[in-house]
């Protein structure tokens, strides 16, 4: 008789799935250990690795079977490679268990307190994001240096370790054990990391993802000269064999190691879990200010006798734990790449991504910096990427994760501004691309307005940064809303009535200041426009050379470059500004409101004056005349005031407390006169 299919046992199926998941995690973690410890090329962020390891630990406990000795939860690091000779540690170099939140730290403190049964102190040290090494000293002389490896044996990197200035070759002092193992972290400072990647990029070599990978790769070089050139550093944090002879506590050991010539980090001795957590939160704020990377804090029971009493498990001590900071890197996918216009007109590529938590914050946008970085990193829409957020830095895309299959085409730089439609300009001298619509681009509006009203430009007293912010943030339709610099001269000042902080006198003064600004000379108006590379001095030179706004707007490259202080780059910037139709529209609106500088009379330079044609530098404090007024009157006499002393300088006028400019003039043999002589010439 046909009995039909039997029903599968759900318990056996669940058990099979559990075992499959455990085996998969063990295989993946073993591969990641190999990539991290031996290849120095991790394929996943640390936080993702930590989560996988924690999951494996939970699943192995639920299986209720003996855990194999080679499981990643029982081993440390990876076996030594065959490139370097293996070296056994005299005592195992264990790894630390990790805590990722306050509750896990409280659990650690509770367990520790139960085992100790008496009041005790912790020592708290920053956790360096580097490479652990074991230094063996025989009779005070460095004999062997090895990486952590699998905790029992590591790779012999003695020759490379000797290139690190922080590591002494010989230890001086009495009562040194015949055999001493000093444990510590080899790391690369942020400045050395940047210099190394710059050199790699210049040589067309692969860039390192972070300082930890760079330190690991540098320490495992076959040529010690390469290691030496990469400027590695070292902090000692512990001892293996012989350490008990040096001190009775971790804090005492650190002081002893310092006496022996090792660099150590600062530390704190604290009591109670709440003090630990308070200290942790303070370090979260401070970590970005350090010259090297840390990824958490380490809490250790300070007294060695208590450490021995508490003991260890297979891969980590029970008396210490690493409290990790929230992950600064995560993997997500790029949905699309857009172009963002900054407040100064620089246009940058930005990746819009599937939201992901990085350093405790949900991130959905990350900068790609510029078109060259975008192309170098080869980031495309649809790619899986590593995104990073260190400290308060804007999130950035670090690199693309290994890509399989067909990818989207590489995005190209825009021809027109994505905000205002003005043409994009790109200088060969720099990487950045810029919107040319300086006066009309909404993305640049606030900065342009602040510059336009500033002292030295239109000088509208009372219209400071806070008021500009308020007026640009006004809702649409408000009579006070500013959408361009021309709107300053269309403000309905009666609309300020009744607003907090705006009395009648203040409103009238602001209205008067705006009216007065209409009479500014050509040079001030030209400077106020914010044309790139056109400062106050160049604006004066242009106004004196062309005498009218119309002539400057229509000037060609050749005639512009005939003006003092105007080279090819400045001339190109001026031409680009006035060639943009959007800028001309704003200028037309200003002109319609009566804001247009009068034509300047061509300056007649007195050829017989002793300063005519002279390059003059003013330095020190002047008591009889403002420096800006002195500059203006010197120009009228045909002189050329400049800000720095060079071999081309004809004359230095030194006021009171003249400094380095005076010294340089004297060393170059340039004539120096005082303020009295200046006033005589001006008279």
**Residue numbers annotated as active site:** 127
β-bridge partners, 267: none
Q: Alpha-carbon distance 47 to 359, whole Å?
A: 10
CB 157 within 8 A of CB 133: yes
DSSP E strands, 17-130: 86-88, 98-99, 122-128
Cα–Cα distances in Å, from 254 out to 235, 263, 265, 448, 495?
10, 9, 9, 55, 68
DSSP run (H or E) holding 372: helix 371-377
Look at residues 410, 427, 636 and name the one whose alpha carbon lies nearest to residue 523.
636
Q: Alpha-carbon distance 53 to 60, whole Å?
A: 11
Nearest 5°: the CA angle 173, 187, 79 is 95
Helices (H), 287-346: 304-310
CB 182 within 8 A of CB 195: no
DSSP E strands, 53-130: 86-88, 98-99, 122-128
**DSSP structure class, residue 399:** E
Q: Which residues of 347-374 are buried (b: 16+ CB within 10 A; e: fewer)?
A: bbbbbebeebebbeeebeebbbbbbebb
CB 524 within 8 A of CB 543: no
Q: How far separated are the first and last CA of the chain, in Å rounded?
A: 128
DSSP line for 591-647: HHTT--PPPPPPP---TTSTTTT-EEEEESB-SSS-HHHHHHHHHHTT-EEESS--T
616 sits in the region (left: phi over 0; alpha: psi -120 to 50; else beta) called beta
């Amino acid at each position: 008789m046909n009995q039909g299919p039997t029903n599968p046992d759900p318990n056996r199926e669940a058990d099979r799935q559990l075992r499959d998941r455990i085996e998969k995690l063990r295989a993946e973690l073993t591969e990641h250990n190999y990539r991290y410890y031996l290849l120095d090329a991790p394929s996943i962020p640390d936080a993702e690795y930590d989560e996988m390891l924690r999951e494996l630990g939970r699943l192995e406990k639920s299986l209720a079977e003996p855990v194999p000795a080679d499981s990643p939860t029982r081993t440390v690091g990876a076996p030594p490679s065959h490139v370097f000779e293996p070296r056994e540690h005299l005592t195992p170099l264990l790894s630390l268990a990790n805590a990722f939140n306050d509750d896990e730290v409280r659990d650690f403190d509770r367990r520790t307190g139960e085992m100790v049964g008496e009041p005790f102190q912790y020592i708290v040290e920053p956790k360096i994001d580097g490479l652990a090494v074991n230094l063996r000293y025989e009779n005070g002389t460095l004999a062997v240096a090895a990486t952590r490896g699998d905790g029992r044996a590591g790779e012999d990197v003695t020759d490379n370790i000797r290139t690190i200035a922080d590591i002494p070759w010989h230890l001086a002092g009495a009562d040194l054990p015949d055999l001493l193992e000093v444990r510590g972290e080899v790391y690369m400072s942020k400045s050395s990391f940047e210099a190394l990647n710059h050199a790699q990029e210049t040589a067309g070599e692969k860039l390192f993802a972070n300082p930890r990978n760079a330190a690991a790769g540098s320490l495992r070089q076959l040529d010690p000269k390469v290691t030496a050139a990469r400027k590695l550093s070292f902090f000692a944090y512990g001892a293996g064999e012989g350490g008990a002879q040096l001190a009775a506590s971790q804090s005492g050991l650190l002081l002893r190691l310092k006496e022996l010539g090792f660099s150590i980090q600062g530390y704190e001795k604290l009591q109670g879990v709440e003090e630990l957590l308070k200290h942790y939160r303070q370090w979260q704020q401070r970590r970005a200010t350090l010259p090297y990377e840390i990824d958490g804090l380490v809490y250790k029971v300070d007294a060695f006798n208590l450490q021995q009493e508490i003991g260890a498990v297979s891969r980590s001590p029970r008396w210490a734990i690493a409290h990790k900071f929230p992950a600064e890197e995560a993997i997500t996918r790029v949905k699309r790449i857009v172009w963002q216009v900054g407040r100064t007109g620089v246009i940058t590529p930005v990746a819009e991504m599937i939201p992901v938590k990085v350093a405790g914050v949900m991130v959905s946008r990350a900068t790609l910096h510029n078109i060259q970085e975008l192309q170098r990193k080869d980031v495309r829409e649809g790619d899986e990427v590593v995104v990073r957020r260190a400290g308060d830095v804007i999130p950035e895309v670090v690199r693309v994760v290994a890509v399989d299959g067909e990818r989207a085409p590489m995005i190209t730089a825009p021809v027109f501004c994505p905000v205002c439609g003005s043409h994009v300009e790109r200088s060969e001298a720099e990487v950045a691309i810029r919107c040319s619509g300086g006066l009309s681009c909404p993305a640049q509006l606030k900065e342009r307005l602040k510059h336009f009203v500033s002292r030295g430009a239109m000088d509208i007293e009372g219209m400071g940064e806070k008021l500009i912010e308020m007026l640009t943030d006004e809702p649409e339709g408000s009579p006070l809303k500013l959408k361009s610099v021309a709107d300053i001269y269309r403000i309905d000042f009666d609309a300020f009535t009744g607003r907090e902080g705006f009395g009648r006198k203040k409103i009238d003064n602001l209205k008067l200041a705006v009216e007065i600004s209409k009479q500014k000379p050509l040079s001030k108006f030209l400077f106020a426009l914010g044309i790139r590379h056109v400062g106050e001095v160049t604006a004066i030179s242009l106004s004196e050379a062309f005498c009218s706004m119309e002539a400057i707007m229509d000037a060609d490259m050749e005639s512009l470059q005939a003006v003092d202080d105007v080279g090819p780059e400045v001339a190109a910037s001026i031409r680009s500004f006035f060639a943009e139709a959007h800028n001309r529209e704003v200028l037309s609106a200003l002109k319609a409101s009566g804001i247009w500088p009068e034509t300047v009379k061509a300056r007649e330079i007195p050829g017989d004056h002793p300063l005519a044609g002279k390059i003059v530098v003013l330095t020190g404090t002047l008591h009889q005349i403002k420096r800006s007024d002195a500059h203006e009157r010197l120009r009228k006499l045909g002189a050329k005031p400049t800000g720095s002393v060079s071999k081309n300088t004809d004359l230095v006028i030194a006021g009171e407390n003249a400094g380095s400019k005076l010294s340089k003039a004297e060393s170059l043999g340039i004539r120096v006169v005082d303020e009295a002589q200046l006033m005589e010439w001006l008279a």
